[in-house]
Amino acid sequence: MSIEQDLNTDVQHMDEEWVKISNQFFKYSELSDLKDIQCRKKKLEIEAKEANLSIHIRKNTDKYCKELNVSKLTDSIVSTLIIADPELEILKSQMLNLEKEKKLTISVCKSLELKCEGLKNLTRLWIGEYYAAPTSNSEGKHFLKIQDEVNERNVLKEVKRRFHNRNQETKE
């Protein structure tokens, strides 16, 4: 499956989505850890290559001095020769790609966490029959009556809260 398919939510089959999400999260978490390990190995490979190049260049000072037409190899010249090495450039490019893949898998894990929250909220809506239509006029009227009662309670709570806050302010 692709990342897009794993991140999509099929609201018609939420039970299946709940079953799949833990496996998806584990899969991408494991992949993220694998990419992290690969990045570390690639970094060590780059450091070893840089060290070997430095040793090689310093052992062959005369050769490089003649090639570069300089009397002495300075540290900055050695550093420049190391940076310019084509094999090292390839290794660094590979490491950048691994880091990009690692960040992508971390982003997918975060998106799966958001998907889980979305599933929780969708489940609450489903339990509350948010998507259900009234089956008769009397049921619809009953729903409206309940909604009016809830709204009245909320208004009363807000008035009481404001009154309490106003009393607290006058006491101070």
The confidence score (pLDDT) of residue 108 equals: 94
The pLDDT averaged over each successive group of 10 residues in the chain (172 residues) is: 86 85 92 96 97 93 89 90 94 96 94 91 81 60 75 76 74 66
pTM higher than 0.85: no
CA proximity to 7, closest of 102, 103, 110: 110
Q: Can you list the alpha helix ranges (DSSP code H) found in 8-85?
A: 14-59, 61-68, 75-83
The confidence score (pLDDT) of residue 78 equals: 92
Record the tokens describing residue 158, joined without a space: 């807000």
Supply φ then ψ for residue 129, to 5 degrees.
55, 40
Contact status, residue 95 vs residue 35, Cβ threshold 8 Å: no
The confidence score (pLDDT) of residue 104 equals: 95
CB contact set of 11 (below 8 Å; sequence gap of 6+)? 122
CB contact set of 125 (below 8 Å; sequence gap of 6+)? 131
Provide the residue type at 34 as one letter.
L
